[in-house]
Chain A
C-alpha cells in the first residue's frame, strides 16, 4: 500500500490539520515508513478470529437517569479561547 501526496492532503483534510506542500513531502516519507511496519499484519491468516477490544468480558454499565452534574459554565468558560454572554464564539457559519 503506497501513499501519494494527494492521499496525505485528503487524510489531513479529514483530520482537520493544515499541511503545507513542503510538510506533505516529509509526512509522506514518514507515514510510508510506518505503514511499511504495519504491513507485516497482512501475512497473518485471521479468518474466523473474533476481534478483541477489552481483555475482560465486561458489558457497558447503566446508571439511574438522575442529574449528577452541577452547572459549572463560568468555570469552564474561564479557560475558553473566546466567549461572550455565556456563549462560545466561533467564526460566522451562517450568512
Chain B
C-alpha cells in the first residue's frame, strides 16, 4: 500500500477495502518505527490525526468524499495549523501552538485530507541541507550518512521513505526542487501567487511559494487541485479561475504524446560546476523526451550566474524585515534574564535564532542600512528583471526548459555546514526560477553511483507562467515510460 499512488489510495478508501483510520494508522506506525532515525517529523499528534481520519471515514460513508478525502498528508512545519505545535524549525517558536489555520491547511482540511504531522525543515526555511533545524538534521533515506537537501528536508525524507502518502513544501530558492532531486521524488514550485501564503511563516515574501511533494506528477496534479486558488488574506495572491491540473494526463499515452513540444536546454545549466554523472543522467532523460516526440533546442539564460548574488541580497533583506516580528513580547522565545527592554530583544533574538538565520538577518540589515540601499537592494531588483527577461526571451524559442535541478547528488552531513557560500551554490539552477516567479519542477531521472551507493538525480522542468498543467503532463508522459519514480530506498 505504501507505494500506491494517491488515486489508488483513494480507490481503496472508496471501495471500503481499507478505512482512513486503518490507512493512517499504518503510516503512523511506520513513522514510529523509522522516524527516530530519519527525523523527518518535528510534531506528531496521533489523537488529532486519527480524529481527522475518523471524520474522513464518515464523509466517505456519506458519499461526499473528494479525491484526497481520508489520505494522510504530511505538512511542512512552516504552515500554521490550529492546535498544532508550529515551529518553523526554530527554537524561537518551539512553544508556539498554532492559533489558526494557514490557507494551505484549510484547503487540505476542506478536501478531507488527514494531517499526518509537521515535518522537519531548515530553520525558517534558510538552508539547503536541513542541517540548520533546531530539531536536528534529517537523514536521506537513500544513504543515511547524507543530507536530504533543504529546506523542505523533512517532507522530502518522509515522501522518499514512504512515511506519508504525499507532503507539502515551500520553495524560496529551491527548497522543494533540490530535496526532490536529492531524495528521488517529484516536487513542484508553482507560479508565484498561485498558492496562498496566508499562515505560511514568511521568509522572503516576494519569492516564497508553497507546492506539492509527491511520488508522481499525477499525485502532484491532484494536490495542485486542492492547494491553488485565490486567498484575499494574501496580498500577492492571484485572482484566476480554478483549473483542473489532471485534465491533460489521460492524453499522455501512445507513441509520441509530446510531438510538437519544444524543449529548451540552457547552455549555462550544463557548464562548469555540474557533476559529470548528474549531467549524463539528465542527458539520458532528455533523450527519452526526444523519443516521446519532443524537439530539443539550444537556448541561453545569460544572467544565470547572477541569480545567486541577487538572491543573497533580496532574500536576506526581506527576511531581516519579516523576522523583526520575533521580539519575545507577544509569542515565541523570551530570554530568561535581561536588564531592560532593549536587552530583552537582543538576548531573546540572540538565543532564539540559530547561526544561519542570524547571518541572514545581519546581511539583510546591512544591505538595507542607510547609504547601501541603492548599491545592493535596488541593484539586485534591477538584475532580477534582467533574469526574468532572459526567461521571457527563451520562451519565444521553446515551450519548456529542462536541465539539472541541483549541481550534484546528496552530500554528506556536515560536508558544507561550515561554509555558507558553498551551500548557497547548491541552488545555482533553481534560484533564477524564484526570482522570475516562474513554475519549476523536479522529477526523478535516474541514479548516480557514488561511493557504492545509488543516489537519486532529478530533472528540472521550468515552464512559463501558469503552465503547471502542461508541465505535469510532460512529467507524467515521462513517468509512463520510466520507473525511476517508483523506486524506493532499502531499509524502509
Contact = CB atoms under 8 A, between A and B. Distances in A.
B206 A54 contact: yes
B309 A31 contact: no
Residue of A14, A15, A30, A76 ringed by the most chain B CB atoms within 10 A: A15
A81 B373 CA distance: 35
A46 B235 CA distance: 29
Main secondary structure on chain A at its contact with chain B? loop
Contact of B421 (A27, A37, A51, A91): A37
Interface in A37-85: 37-42, 44, 46, 49-56, 58, 60-61, 63, 72, 75-76, 78-82
B438 A55 contact: yes
B420 A34 contact: yes
A19 interface: yes
A41 B310 contact: yes
A90 interface: yes
Given A16-B349, A55-B437, A76-B99, A90 B385 contact: no
B424 A37 contact: yes
Contact of B306 (A41, A61, A81): A41
Interface string B254-288: 00000000000000000000000000000000000
Nearest to B345: A16
B95 A79 contact: yes
Residue of A14, A39, A51, A55 ringed by the most chain B CB atoms within 10 A: A55
Nearest to B206: A53
Contacts of A8: 362
Interface stretch (B156-164, B323-331, B448-456): B323-331
Contact of A55 (B313, B359, B388): B388
A90 B341 contact: yes
A41 B235 contact: no
A93 interface: yes
B192 interface: yes
B431 interface: no
Main secondary structure on chain B at its contact with chain A? helix
Contact of A12 (B99, B236, B362): B362
A76 B99 CA distance: 7
A25 to B, nearest CB: 14
A16 to B, nearest CB: 4
Given A27-B359, A54-B437, A60 B378 contact: no
A3 to B, nearest CB: 8
B386 A17 contact: no
Residue of B312, B350, B386 ringed by the most chain A CB atoms within 10 A: B350
Contacts of A27: 358-359, 362
Interface stretch (B124-132, B211-219, B363-371): B363-371
Given A17-B349, A52-B382, A78-B97, 10 more contacts: A15-B349, A16-B342, A35-B363, A38-B367, A54-B206, A55-B193, A78-B99, A79-B96, A90-B344, A91-B343
Interface of B: 95-97, 99, 191-193, 206, 232, 235-236, 238, 305-306, 308-310, 312-313, 320, 324, 327-334, 338-347, 349-350, 353, 358-359, 361-363, 365-367, 369, 375-376, 378-386, 388, 419-421, 424, 436-438, 465
